[in-house]
Each structure stands twice: as C-alpha cells, then as structure tokens.
Structure 1
Amino acid sequence: MNKLTAETLKGNWATLLLPIKPDESIDFALLEDEIDSLIDAGVDGIYSNGTAGEFHNQTEAEFDQISLLLAEKCNQTSTPFQIGCSHPAPIISLERLTRIAHLNPDAVQLILPDWVITNDEEQISFLKKMESYAQGIPLVLYNPPHAKLELKPRDYFKLKNEVPSLIGIKVLSKDEQWVMEMKAFASHLAIFVPGHFLAKGVESGVASGAYSNVACINPVAAQKCWELTQGNLEEALRIENNILKFFDRCIAPYQKRGYSNPALDKFLAAVGGYIKIPTKLRWPYKWISEDEVLSARKTAKQLIPEFF
C-alpha cells in the first residue's frame, strides 16, 4: 500500500475492540469476524491497539497476533490500516514498532511515554528514535485529554522540522481559541477528533477525520456521516447534534460513574449491535453490564435512527 501523508490521511477510521472471554483470554475468532465486518462496512481505514483496543493490557505475544491478523486481512482487501504501537514504557513501544514494521501498515500510532512525563527535549528524542526504526512508515501521535501530558497547539509546531514523518494527531476538539491556534501551529498535520465531534471539527476547518467512537455504534452509518461532511455539512451537523444528545443521556452518566473510555466504546458497540463482541474488559477494569444495553438502544433508535 501507499504510505499515508498529512494530506491523504482523512476520513472515518474504525477502531478494533478487543473481544474478551470470561477466562480473560482474547477471542480471536470474534476478532476475525470484527475485522471482516469493518472491512465490509467500507470505512476509510481500520486501526488496532488504540485506547479502546486495550493496548495497555495485552501481552506482547497477543499484540503480535492482533497486528498480524489485521495486516493480513487488510492487505488482502486493500483496506488502509494503522497499527497502534503505543505502550506506557518507551522501550516496549519501540520493540513493538520494530516487530510490526514488516507488516507494512499505512501508519503507526504512538503515545508519549506515560509513567514519567517527558519534557520538550525528551519528546523529540522519543519521536525521532521511533521514526528512525519505522522504516519509512509515517507516525501518528495520540494525545487525547486523558494523556498525562496534553500538548498545546504550539507544541506541534516544535515537532514539525524535528520529526518530518509525523503526519497526524488524535486530539479532542475544543473552543474557538484552540481552533485558531491549531490552524496557526498544526496545519501541517492531519488533525483527527473523536467521532461525535467530527462534523463540528470539519465545520471549523480543523478536522481531517475521526478515529471514531461513533463507528463503534455502526461503522456504515459513521462512514455516511463523514461523507455528509464533504457534501451536506448541514445534515451532518443535524445528525451530530442528535448523537451528542444520545451521549449526554446514555453515555455521560456512565462516564461520571468512573467507567473508562474502553468500557464506553464497547457499550456503544453493544447498543448498535453491528459489531458482535461482549462489553467485558480485561481485569482489573470494570465494564458496563449488557443488561443495560436495551434501554440505551431504545433511546438511540429515537435520536439517531440513521444508525439502525
């Protein structure tokens, strides 16, 4: 495949969710089905081992098996894919990158080292070394608000000349001041936002696409929402406003009760019913009971019928 660039990295990208069995092992048969369903949905791309993919709670053998499975299926179908090589420990992140480079992903995703917060010099050192081991594969930096260090817009400009293979970032879109600063300091990057803020991100002129939690509900509908942002933004904004109402009623209460982003994303998948995996997370993390799905699905069908 052709490697992605800041200009070509766009659209609705779906995350792999990790199917966990009652015995805490990964259900690789279900994972295969999940990848097939995302490919059939026609999303712009698939990525593995993001936060929702529980990259922080895998063995290295499991990471390798997940990465190989995704690469084989996507290469067979010419589906763009990214592999998340993130890990709180930088040396393990580097080892992950080294082991998957031969799989030829269109990009790799990284987080900054997470246990000890990095300063400006250490951030550049980390990314430059990752770049040197990536064998020409472009880099995407995950920096959502739950990162220990949330970068400011001007920080991305500092990285511009030091790490030329950095083509994109995943962030949470914010207020008008943030939009102005991102346009000033990060316009050289593909800026990706969460799926439920994609239309507003496109309207502001900042967002190139979404690593999409909304695709967990229904990747086909999420893809159509992205396409609407390119031709009928008013309709995309209307649907997004209803998505936000659904999130406010059915997702925010769980967030306030301390459920993690992976738990919320798996619950979204259960509500939508398109991706057939359990809501269970790996120990020690708690998940939302599947007994609570039907009530949320009823509300979702009322507010966002396009997803059913």
Structure 2
Amino acid sequence: MEQLKGTGVALVTPFKADESIDWNALENLINYVIDGGVNYVVTLGTTGETPTLSADEKLDLMKFTFEKVSKRVPVVVGIGDYNTRDVVKRLEKCPLDEAAAILSVAPYYSKPTQEGIYQHYKTIAAASPKPIILYNVPGRTGRNMTADTTLRLAHDVENIVAMKEASGDMAQCMQIIQGKPKDFLVISGDDALALPQLACGMDGVISVAANFLAKDFSAMVKTALENNYPAARALHYKMMQGFDLMFSENNPAGIKGFLAHAGIIGNYFRLPVLPATDALYRQIGEYLKQY
C-alpha cells in the first residue's frame, strides 16, 4: 500500500447547466490534478456528490476515470452505504480490476453500535476483491468510529489496509497511529488539520482542496513526509484561508467555486446542494487574486 501514501484527491463531479455530467471538464480536472503532483485519485467519494448519481452514472464515472487516468496514478473507488448487503453486491459486480483499493464510508444514518460497524466492515472486506480503506467521518455519518474499533479491524482483518480519519479528534487520531499494525496506513481526511496530523505520524491525506490546490497541497504533504516542516508550514499557511473558504458553507460548493473561478469546471450542482452564495463566491475571487 505504499502507493497510497502522500496526496490523494477526492474528485468532484463536474456538471453542465442541465445537470448532466460534464465529461470534458472531468477529463480536464483529472489531468490538472495529476499534473499538479497528486499521488492518486479517488472517484465516487462523497465530494463527487455520489448520493445524487444513478447506479449507471456511478459505473460510467468509474470506467471514465480509469480510462482517462490511464494508469498514470492509482485510482481508489468509493463504495459505501448503510446497507451492508448492498455494498457486498456492488463489490462483487463492479469491474474493479484497475482499482488500487476501495474507500468505504462507515454506515451512516442508522447509527449502528461499534460492534455493528465492526461486523459491517468485516463482512464487506470478506467480499471485496480489493483492499479496503475505512472512512470515519462522524460529522456526516452521525456516529464516530472509535479508535478501539479501528484498531480491532486493522489487526483482525487482513484485507483492511488503511483508515481515512476525519473525526477531527487529534487524541483519537494519535491512539490509532500508536496502536496500528506496522503496514496499516492512517490517512487524514481533514485538509486544515493535515499538517499536524502528518507530524503525528499519518501517512498522507485524501484531500478536497487538492482538486484546486493540487500543486501546493501535494508539495506540503511531500515535504512533511520528508520531515521538512519549515517548508510544509509555509505552504500550509499559504493555503489556510483557502481551506476556510472551501468549507465555510458546504462541500463541494466551496471547492467547485474555486474550480469555477479558474475555468476548470462549471459551477453547477444537483439538489439539494447549491452553489456558494454570491458573497462567498466574491470572497473566493478576492482570495485567488492575492494567492
């Protein structure tokens, strides 16, 4: 899993004004982030507005990403749900030969117990043809996956190889880093906290910001992993206001606002997500003028 160290980017899904997928813009975005130095891409993450995509669109997006990445970097595929049986079926049916790993969010809405979370992941890992990356994001799922549950899965299930940790709880992150198996990766899911988490021993980041800040974000992660923290700090503080703007209203409204300002994609969404407000969009423009 060395290929999953460094910077991964959770790709947005560009839309046209009629809400159809903008395939040309997606190809441009893929080339932009790879040219910017990211180590791998993640397709079908929640930043890609996957709850609004049909099953056929998800399959098309995955195939398109494989084709346009063309093995220049690894591709991680997001497959997660609160219905364990449905996740298993998708893992068995999806054409995943070109995937490096599966990113699977913890079950959401139903708020299962820690044992329920453990059994969910153990079941899908047994069915998966690819390694599983756990994903803890309690602000969206409604249930925190504790350090004990993460470490139990890391030690018990061979096909679970990493954790994307986005709880924002630094103590919990350090417990996982301290207790994990040697080859188990701990990956940040918080752009604004990535630098201190790398300093604590995380192995990289799956980033939203790297959709736009690909070059500087990838350089920050690379220099931090090389223990060059003065250089990493300078890049972090250069980007810090950008992180605040990206997440001040909604993800992916913020990052799409950045990409739209740069002309990489159109500023279009599917309900219930709306574009950044006019005030935020102006702030993004002012930030980019001085960036």
Give 1:116's match in structure 2, choosing from 110, 118, 142.
110
CA 16–231 in structure 1, closer or farther in 2 if over 3 Å, else same: same
Moved more, 19-28 or 88-97: 88-97
Q: Which residue of 1 aligns with 2:88?
A: 94
CA distance in 2, matches of 1:173, 1:239: 23
CA distance in 2, matches of 1:40, 1:246: 20
CA 223–161 in structure 1, closer or farther in 2 if over 3 Å, else same: closer
1:13 aligned counterpart, secondary structure: strand
Q: Which residue of 2 aligns with 1:298?
A: 286
Q: CA RMSD in A?
A: 2.5
Unaligned runs of 5+ in 2: none
Q: Aligned-pair distance for 1:269?
A: 2.9
Give 1:266's match in structure 2, choosing from 256, 276, 281.
256
Q: Does 2:22 match 1:27?
A: yes
What whole-Å deviation, never above 9, does each CA across 1:183-227 have from its counterpart, x for those lacking one?
33345531111233222112122x211111221222122212222
What whole-Å deviation, never above 9, does each CA across 1:103-132 have from its counterpart, x for those lacking one?
330001111222322223332332222222
What whole-Å deviation, never above 9, does each CA across 1:22-56 have from its counterpart, x for those lacking one?
22221222222222322333310001111211121
Give 1:244's match in structure 2, choosing from 240, 247, 250.
240
Q: Which residue of 2 aligns with 1:141?
A: 134
CA 178–276 in structure 1, closer or farther in 2 if over 3 Å, else same: same
CA 160–83 in structure 1, closer or farther in 2 if over 3 Å, else same: same
Q: Does 2:54 match 1:59?
A: yes
TM-score when scaled to structure 2? 0.87
Q: Aligned-pair distance for 1:173?
A: 6.3
Q: Aligned-pair distance for 1:166?
A: 1.0
Number of residue pairs aligned between Structure 1 and Structure 2: 287
CA distance in 2, matches of 1:55, 1:88: 14
CA distance in 1, matches of 2:282, 2:250: 20
TM-score when scaled to structure 1? 0.83
Unaligned runs of 5+ in 1: none
Structure 1 stretches of 4+ moved >4 Å? 173-176, 289-292
Residue type matched to 2:266 in 1?
P
Q: How does 1:148-297 map to 2 (within 5 A)?
A: 148-172=142-166, 174=168, 177-186=171-180, 188=182, 189-193=184-188, 194-205=190-201, 207-229=202-224, 230-248=226-244, 250-251=245-246, 255=248, 259-271=249-261, 273=262, 276-289=264-277, 292-297=280-285
Between the aligned residues of both structures, percent identity stands at 22
1:46 aligned counterpart, secondary structure: strand
Native 8 Å contact 2:210 2:217 kept in 1: yes
CA distance in 2, matches of 1:262, 1:225: 22
CA 246–60 in structure 1, closer or farther in 2 if over 3 Å, else same: closer
Native 8 Å contact 2:4 2:39 kept in 1: no
Native 8 Å contact 1:156 1:185 kept in 2: no
1:30 aligned counterpart, secondary structure: helix
Q: Aligned-pair distance for 1:282?
A: 0.8
